[in-house]
Structure formats: C-alpha cells, structure tokens
Amino acid sequence: MTPPGARRLGTPRPVAVEADGRGVPTAVAGVAVEAVREEWVVEDRWWTPRPLRRRYFELVLANGRNSVIFRDLVEGRWLSQRA
C-alpha cells in the first residue's frame, strides 16, 4: 500500500514517438533522435493473464538529453521511463 501523498518512482508515462518502418524511434516528443545507444526486449509474466512484453530503447536526442522509452508490445503504446 502506498502512503497518501507518495508516488512511485520510475512510473512509465505516455510519450509521443515517431518511428521508422522497423519500429525504431526517429523522434520523441517532437525532438529528433541522434543515436540509439541500446535496444532490448523484456518478456515477463507470460504465465499470467497480464503478460509484459516491451521493446526498450536508450536514446540520445538532438537536444543532448538521454532518454529511455519503450513500446508496450501487448497494447501498442509508447511510454517513457525514468530511472
């Protein structure tokens, strides 16, 4: 149980992403992607009614920021996740 007024750290938030035909991000929230530093897939809870399948990207954006985003492969949504 979470105490009143507390919030979870690292909770994913929806983000607008433009991607190429292979599903690789080209822009995040309107900012161009300069480089993809790393890409990985997480598949977990496959034995439950709510499996988790995500394709993560660690990106360097044109404004110099690093960003970690993922595509929820079950729901098809893009989300941003901070450490």
> Per-residue pLDDT tens for 18-73?
999 999 999 999 999 999 999 999 999 889 988 899 999 999 999 999 999 999 99
Structure tokens at 50: 């709510």
- pTM for the complete prediction? 0.84
Residue 83 has pLDDT above 60, yes or no: no
Residue 4 resides in a domain: no
Asked whether the beta carbons of 39 and 54 are under 8 A apart, the reply is no
Residue 3 in domain: no
> Is residue 30 assigned to a domain?
yes
For range 70-78, the mean pLDDT: 95
At residue 63, what are phi and psi to the nearest 5 degrees?
-85, 5
What's the number of domains the chain is made of? 1
* In a domain? residue 8: no
Domain assignment of residue 46, given as a range = 13-80
**8 A C-beta contact, residue 26 and residue 12:** no
The answer to whether residue 68 sits within a structural domain is yes
